[in-house]
Amino acid sequence: MPAPLQPALVNEIYAALVRLEAADPASAGPHWGAMHKLLLKAKVDPQALMRIVGARDLDELRRAIARAKGEPVAEVDPAAGTLAGESSGTASGPASPQFDEALLQDALRMFRKRLKLSQLDADSKLGHGPTSGTGQHRIQSMVPPRDHPIAVWEALAKLGKLRREGDGFYSIVEQPGGAHW
């Protein structure tokens, strides 16, 4: 059982959590960095903390804060994506967050644009590219932009718009008939 946290540190963590929740996801990077430093002071497991900060997972962050304070926490079953003891079809909530179609379209548009720019950048290197006739390799996948949380990219993968390639990489799934959405 971890030692109880100092009240001043608890207050700092909660103030950082409030700022993080109020921040726009696109500009929340500095808030996540500040939260990371505070939780390292609170002796939270660094590997678990890196997964939380990397995924920008607010729910898991709240559970980590509660664990650091010594409070009982309902654990998440990673296989089912639900709280332990809860079935994914209960009325208490869906297994994954729901995003509106406009947000998903914006994220997919951003992914396509960044992938295209990465391809153009790679093609502009000397020795390979569209005009040299060598190195006909194209960039097919990439790590998604951090402008949206990882849950958005997972939702797009579940919808069949993106394909998980492993190690955090995603690629675009070609739609039949050339339909983009």
Q: What sign for the dihedral angle of Cα 48, 153, 110, 175?
A: positive
CA neighbor of 125 nearest in space, from 144, 115, 114, 138:
138
Q: Can you give the residue ranges of every domain in the chain?
A: 7-83, 101-178
Q: Buried b vs exposed e over 60-71: b needs ≥16 C-beta within 10 Å? A: bbebbbebbbee
Q: Which distant-in-sequence residues (6+ apart) come within 8 Å of 7 by Cβ?
A: none
* pLDDT tens by residue, 51-60: 788 778 888 8
80 has a pLDDT exceeding 50: no
pTM value > 0.95: no
35-45: pLDDT as tens digits: 888 888 888 77
Q: Which residues of 143-166 are buried (b: 16+ CB within 10 A; e: fewer)?
A: ebeebbbebbbbbbbeeebbeeee
User: Which candidate, 73, 41, 72, 70, places its Cα nearest to that of 60?
Assistant: 73
Q: In this predicted model, what pLDDT tens digit does every residue of 104-133 receive, in sequence order?
A: 999 999 999 999 998 888 877 776 656 666
Q: Are 55 and 31 in contact (CB under 8 A)?
A: no
Q: Is residue 79 very low, low, confident or very high in pLDDT (cuts 50, 70, 90)? A: very low
